[in-house]
Chains A and B, each alone.
Chain A
Amino acid sequence: MIRIATTAADTPGPATSHLLDEHPGYDQSAPALEVAGLSVAFPGDRSPITVVDDVGYRVGAGESLAVIGESGSGKSITVRAVMGILPRQARVTAGTVRLSGVDLGALDDATLRRLRGSAIAMVFQDSLSALNPVLPVGYQVAEVFRVHLGMSRKESNRRAIEMLDRVRIPSPAHRARQYPHEFSGGMRQRVMIAMALSLDPAVLIADEPTTALDVTVQAQIMELLAELRSERNMALVLISHDLGVVADTADEIAVMYGGRIVERAPASELYREPRHPYTRALLASIPGKHTRGRRLRVLPGSPPDPSRLPPGCSFGPRCPHSDEVCLTRPALQPIRPGRLTACHHSEEVVENEC
């Protein structure tokens, strides 16, 4: 997952400092990850298509944030911009990404490459295509140590086995010699997590880490992530389309729609009292026991195409509350400490419900 060709740091052992403190702006008390006003655009036929629009969030060490959204909401592009691995055509048009106060935009490519993996790491959704099928799994995990820390083959292999053990893979020494196809989906996802964690990053981004997995395995992986987070005091960013999956793991939830964050709230409050009509609709459309024999309350239409976003509030056309006011874009505003929502009607939304 990490392909790097720069010279490695001399320090053996885990990069406890995350290499961040040597850069300008470093502040130990700053949040581990802070994204502010981030916008990303793709070139379009006539004008650039903005797929991420003024997105901001912060995650402290040991905290976790879940970013929820449907396809095309911009949730994955946001974290790719944070990692600096956007598709070639995409451009960051505005905004900053700071790791413990260090502005990543001000650093050169070589420095960024060194930080990727050691300060901020990512777990991808599709573990089968993220791993190289012709190399043993242990070799691929060890690569991180060889490239970043300049370890010998033998030493790096030993560390790789340690990492496999840390993500609770049984008989790690034996498994390290096997190839990706010999692993089940859940085990492969563990390997991905082992790779991402090998340099002890301060921030871990997991992009739909359990989407391709079975329900019982899903629970195992989410639990592993939660455990490792508290063990290593990491900041964890979870990307998911499923509100149910992140319920137990996330401290805070940000809901994205049409490239913008439409609601941000502590997890427990969001489920109990969603304030944005979209969040409400999402929660209401989850089928289950309470919906037996009833029709699901669903939204009309489908998520908007980023190249043809409706004017004003992009949720307007599907929203039961929308009126003329919604033709102007609502700002993401605090409605109470710790809670933000981008809706002109957030007050009525709650009142009309009961």
Chain B
Amino acid sequence: MNADAVLQARELVRHIPVTRGVLFKRTIGTIKVVDGVDLQVRRGETLGLVGESGCGKSTLANLLVALDKPTSGRITLLGERLDTQRGRRLSRARKHIQLVFQDPYSSLDPRMTVGEIIREPLVVHPELVPKADRPARVRELMRLVGLNPEHADRRPHQFSGGQRQRIGIARALAVQPDVLVCDESVSALDVSVQGQILNLLEDLQEQLGIACVFISHDLAVVEHVADRIAVMYLGKIVEHGAAQEVYDHPRHPYTQALLSAGPNASARGARIKLTGEVPSPLDPPSGCRFRTRCWKAAEVCARDTPPLRATDGGHEVACHFA
């Protein structure tokens, strides 16, 4: 394994069985939500994960922070297996990786004060900060994310969306994690506020040397923050490489279509129109999963699943024609 990889996933698979019946449950199929994903994140780097809804990005995020157990595959955090840990050891491992949620409204308990919310991780991991020092630590965290420490006694509803997202970030940072997983963390915010949070995340990463997995459907946002990028389609990574390289020279037809549909598209040349929508993950197409919407699709695409392999461009693509 790579020495400076803080987080590594190998052949990660998460299948969810679909059952029918109440008394006599029988399995009628499996949804391959995440189907063989490899990724690694190095210290201080940002990995951008893009894909449309239903492609498995959020499930992958949950797997990475051990909120969900993979069906098979391995997750290694700081050189130790994360997916096989249980109980107290799992709890201890979790403080190294934290999640910032999408919705700043539903991810904060409305009955707790902001101070209590940010202090909670320190209560869960009491060994980190002695009890007497915790109020000071909470104030420090609030300053760090640009909140006024005097507002520690207020409750979430007294804050705007952007400020609430800052609270969520402060809570995630309380345990000094090595990896931050941001699952659509700026998607619910107004454009002018979104920029503030992106800048904050970048500053924090620089100051604290945290690695970041940044999940978003918004290509422009990911292009701004990510060092490397992985494009996901129906549970598989179809293209992966240095962000600049992937954005400038996309090789997979899906990436090309995604980029041409984005808001900065006119600058990137002709628009590629995809027909149809993402197929159901319950019954994905055989071979290459993108073939049903792909204009390059041929016979070989229905037969063989293209593996993710390196190209001369220096990044990896899973397409027979790349």
Which of A269-311 touch B at CB < 8 Å? Answer: 281-282, 285-289, 291-292, 295-300, 302-303
Interchain CB contact under 8 A, A187 and B199: no
At the interface, yes or no: A129 with Cβ under 8 Å from chain B? no
Interchain CB contact under 8 A, B53 and A185: yes
Q: A241-B191, A244-B264 known; A302 and B258 CB under 8 Å?
A: no
Q: A289-B247, A302-B192 known; A295 and B202 CB under 8 Å?
A: yes
Interchain CB contact under 8 A, A215 and B261: yes
Chain B residues touching A, range: 35 or more
At the interface, yes or no: B320 with Cβ under 8 Å from chain A? no
Q: A219-B273, A287-B221, A296-B198 known; A242 and B191 CB under 8 Å?
A: yes
Residue of A nearest to B51 (CB): A214
Interchain CB contact under 8 A, B195 and A298: yes
Q: Enumerate chain A residues within 8 angstroms of B90, measured Cβ to Cβ.
A: none
Residue of B nearest to A305 (CB): B160
Interchain CB contact under 8 A, B219 and A215: yes
A220 vs chain B, min Cβ distance (A): 7
Give Cα distance in the complex from A270 to B235, angstroms: 40
At the interface, yes or no: A128 with Cβ under 8 Å from chain B? no
Interchain CB contact under 8 A, A247 and B160: no
At the interface, yes or no: A71 with Cβ under 8 Å from chain B? yes
Q: A214-B53, A248-B266 known; A287 and B198 CB under 8 Å?
A: yes
At the interface, yes or no: B220 with Cβ under 8 Å from chain A? yes
At the interface, yes or no: A70 with Cβ under 8 Å from chain B? yes
A215 vs chain B, min Cβ distance (A): 5
Interchain CB contact under 8 A, B190 and A70: yes
Which of B263-283 touch A at CB < 8 Å? Answer: 263-264, 266-267, 271, 273-274, 277-278
Q: Enumerate chain B residues within 8 angstroms of A299, measured Cβ to Cβ.
A: 192, 195-196
Which of A180-201 touch B at CB < 8 Å? Answer: 184-187
Give Cα distance in the complex from A241 to B258, angstroms: 20
At the interface, yes or no: A89 with Cβ under 8 Å from chain B? no
Q: Enumerate chain A residues within 8 angstroms of B192, measured Cβ to Cβ.
A: 70, 281-282, 285, 298-299, 302-303, 318
Give Cα distance in the complex from A300 to B200, angstroms: 12
Q: Enumerate chain B residues within 8 angstroms of A220, measured Cβ to Cβ.
A: 273-274
Q: Enumerate chain A residues within 8 angstroms of B225, measured Cβ to Cβ.
A: 287
At the interface, yes or no: B156 with Cβ under 8 Å from chain A? no
Give Cα distance in the complex from A281 to B52, angstroms: 28
At the interface, yes or no: A218 with Cβ under 8 Å from chain B? yes
At the interface, yes or no: B120 with Cβ under 8 Å from chain A? no
Residue of B190, B218, B261 touching A303 (CB-CB under 8 A):
B190
Residue of B52, B199, B264 touching A214 (CB-CB under 8 A):
B52
Q: Enumerate chain B residues within 8 angstroms of A296, measured Cβ to Cβ.
A: 195, 198-199, 224
Give Cα distance in the complex from A271 to B242, angstroms: 30
Residue of A241, A243, A300 touching B190 (CB-CB under 8 A):
A241
B261 vs chain A, min Cβ distance (A): 4
Interchain CB contact under 8 A, A215 and B161: no
Give Cα distance in the complex from A282 to B195, angstroms: 10
Q: Enumerate chain B residues within 8 angstroms of A245, measured Cβ to Cβ.
A: 263
At the interface, yes or no: A217 with Cβ under 8 Å from chain B? yes
Interchain CB contact under 8 A, B223 and A286: no
At the interface, yes or no: A47 with Cβ under 8 Å from chain B? no
Residue of B nearest to A222 (CB): B261
Residue of B162, B243, B262, B264 touching A302 (CB-CB under 8 A):
B162
Which of B184-227 touch A at CB < 8 Å? Answer: 190-196, 198-199, 202, 217-221, 223-225
Give Cα distance in the complex from A300 to B199, angstroms: 12
At the interface, yes or no: A216 with Cβ under 8 Å from chain B? yes
27 contacts between A and B (CB under 8 A): A70-B193, A71-B190, A214-B217, A215-B218, A218-B261, A219-B261, A219-B273, A220-B273, A220-B274, A242-B191, A248-B266, A281-B192, A286-B191, A287-B195, A287-B198, A287-B221, A287-B225, A288-B223, A289-B247, A292-B224, A296-B195, A298-B192, A298-B195, A298-B196, A299-B196, A302-B162, A302-B193
A-B interface, 6 closest residue pairs, ranked by CB to CB distance from nearest: A244-B263, A287-B224, A298-B195, A214-B52, A285-B195, A70-B190
Given contacts A282-B192, A287-B223, 5 further A-B contacts (CB under 8 A): A71-B190, A184-B277, A282-B191, A287-B220, A292-B224
Which B residues are closer than 8 A to A by beta carbons? 52-53, 160-163, 190-196, 198-199, 202, 217-221, 223-225, 243-244, 247, 257-258, 261-264, 266-267, 271, 273-274, 277-278
